[in-house]
Amino acid sequence: MILRSIKNLYRSSLSLLAATLLGVLTADAQMTTVPQVSPAASVSQTVGITKFTVDYSRPSVNGRPIWGKLVPYGLSNLGWAGATSAPWRAGANQNTVLTIAHDAQIEGKNIPAGSYGLHLIVEENDDVTVILSKDYQAWGSYFYNPENDALRAKVKATAAEHTEQLTYSFSKVGKNSAILSLNWEKKQIPINVSVDTDAIMVESLKAEMSNAVGFRYQNVMDAANYLLANELELELALEWADVAINRPWVGRKLPETYELKAKILDKLGRDQEAAEVRAKIKEL
């Protein structure tokens, strides 16, 4: 009986050792890092104060036919994970991921701040369907599920100079908008992105004025000046101008703080009050 127990214990120990070694080997296999044929890349652009970032992998043309061949027109019949058809992953390897810091619009359609898998359906007539999927952590399009779509928009591909490695870039960057373009082989796929920078700024400034930033009168002046210059919430701008003058430990009775308040009153059409504020500057 004792001998049998020892044998059973020995066999259990060997099984545990084998399982442990297998786990170590598996973990090591997952940790292996080698150069990718389609290397990873990232491109970012700030529009107003909103950062757009695309993380993707860059396949090369390498003499291959791309459109309608390597990238099929329409949907691909993948058959993985129950996905009988799927769009193109808009790159190589794992998902191409678009991350947006604030609520934005893609081709005029609202999209909340966050990260999204970027997929494309390219047609032979150069119509392109842009898809943003909430399932941004999936591997490529093999596990694509249309139920996770956060947005679909139509764009048009155009002819372009040859680009050997797939490249994302931003152009025509302004205060509220930019164009995010995918270039590969002799095709360009432009996607319009936009934000309401003034609305984002107002909310951002309100948040900053209620934290440590609001304890410097210069910062309060900057916030009020932004609202004045863009004619946004002028009553709030006037409130902040008063803070820059009068708030304990923050305010400073200086010509520049009084003049800011007077300018806001001018914009509000309160000329008499503006004159009274400027009179205080003379007293200083």
DSSP character at residue 37: S
Residue 283 is predicted with a pLDDT of: 85
Q: What is the pLDDT of residues 206-215, one digit of tens each?
A: 999 999 999 9
Q: What is the pLDDT of residues 113-154, one digit of tens each?
A: 999 999 999 999 999 999 999 999 988 788 888 999 999 999
**Contacts (Cβ under 8 Å, ≥6 apart) of 184:** 59, 61, 66, 163, 165, 166, 167
**Contacts (Cβ under 8 Å, ≥6 apart) of 174:** 47
Closest CA to 218 of 191, 196, 247, 195: 247
Q: How far apart are CA 202 and CA 208, in angstroms?
A: 10
Residue 80 is predicted with a pLDDT of: 53
Closest CA to 190 of 208, 217, 167: 167
212-to-220, 236, 250 alpha-carbon distances in Å: 11, 19, 11
All residue ranges of the chain with pLDDT < 50 are 2-3, 5-10, 12-28, 79
Residue 19 is predicted with a pLDDT of: 44
**Reported pTM:** 0.83
